Amino acid sequence: MTPGLRYLPGHLALPEQRQLVEDLRLAVAAAPLFTPVMPRTGRPFSVRMTNLGSLGWVSDRAGYRYQPLHPDTGQPWPAIPGVLLALWRTVSGYSHDPEACLVNFYSGGARMGLHRDEDEDDFTAPVLSVSLGDTAIFRIGGPERGGKTGTLKLNSGDVLVMGGPSRLCYHGIDRVLTGTSTLLKDGGRINLTLRRVTKP
């Protein structure tokens, strides 16, 4: 496994997963999921997104960036839930709180192409990911596009920490295995990624 990558299978127990889903339902009511589009081409992503925290990641024709307000409502993003802050403080090994939690919702044939998370100013903080709902096939490679890659199954409750050298590795979601979890009543998968954006 890539140095700095930590895979914590089943780290979140079912009660915490259920609490998070409840927190997310309230958050999404205030900050609705939107469909991001690729810079320049305007091609839509197959996942829908929203954010929690003081900054949120958005992608539109103008580019990728972090911003304090929801692009459609113009309101600040909802707060990062306590379960997630507690998780970050326990496993990130980083002494400042995250500023952004990107919420990705996968339904049907949604996937995520290989990419690096590189829009942050602080790469010394890890990116911490939480998976909820249906199992996904996660693909990870090295720091260069086109290198050797491998896959990992991400199940509901799994936590993945991309720190150290793995922080800037290419990764993506090949596909989501429909019907593998009953956590979300209408199925699908939610991925949460906690990020530190600015240098403290």
Contact footprint for ligand MD6 (CB under 6 A): 104, 112, 117, 127, 129, 136, 138, 154, 160, 162, 171, 173, 191, 193
In the bound state with Fe ion, the residue whose beta carbon lies nearer, of 99 and 117, is 117
Element (H, E) at 58: strand 56-60
Alpha-carbon span 49 to 191, nearest angstrom: 10
Between CA 135 and CA 84 the distance in angstroms is 20
CB of 178 to Fe ion, least distance (A): 22
d(CA 45, CA 141): 21
**C-alpha distances in angstroms, 166 versus 3, 13, 24, 107?**
6, 26, 28, 27
Contact footprint for Fe ion (CB under 5 A): 117
User: How many degrees, rounded to 5, is the angle at CA 41 between CA 39 and CA 45?
Assistant: 70
- Could you tell which of ligand MD6, Fe ion, none binds residue 112, using a CB distance below 5 to 8 A set by kind? ligand MD6
Q: How far apart are CA 146 and CA 127, in angstroms?
A: 22
Considering the complex, what minimum distance in angstroms separates the CB of residue 31 from ligand MD6? 18
Q: Which is nearer to ligand MD6, 76 or 83 (CB)?
A: 83
Shorter beta-carbon distance to ligand MD6: residue 76 or 85 = 85
120 binds, among Fe ion, ligand MD6, none (CB under 5 to 8 A by kind): none
Amino acid at site 93: G
DSSP 8-state code for residue 121: S
From the list Fe ion, ligand MD6, none, pick the one residue 173 interacts with, judged by a Cβ distance below 5 to 8 Å according to partner type.
ligand MD6
- For Fe ion, give the closer residue by CB, 82 or 165: 165
Measured from the CB atom, the residue of 18 and 65 that comes closer to Fe ion is 65
Q: Could you tell me the smallest distance in angstroms from the CB atom of residue 162 to ligand MD6?
A: 4
